[in-house]
Amino acid sequence: MFTLHVVCMGNLCRSPMAAALFRARLPADRCRVVSAGLAVPAGRPVAPLTVATLHANGLPVPEASPRQFDPVTVGNDDLVLAMQHRHVRALRALAPHARPRIQLLGRWMPQREIDDPMGGGMEDFARAFAHIAACVEQWCARDARLSTRM
Q: What domains appear along the chain, each with residue ranges and CATH number? A: 2-146 (3.40.50.2300)
- Adjacency order of strands within the sheet including 79-82: 31-37, 2-8, 79-82, 102-104
List Cβ neighbours of 16 (8 Å cut-off, separation of 6 or more): 35, 46, 50, 54, 62, 66
State pTM to two decimals. 0.95
Residues belonging to the active site: 8, 14, 116
Tens of each residue's pLDDT in the chain, 150 residues: 899 999 999 999 999 999 999 999 998 888 999 999 999 988 899 999 999 999 999 999 887 789 999 999 999 999 999 999 999 999 999 999 999 999 999 999 999 999 999 999 999 999 999 999 999 999 999 998 888 654
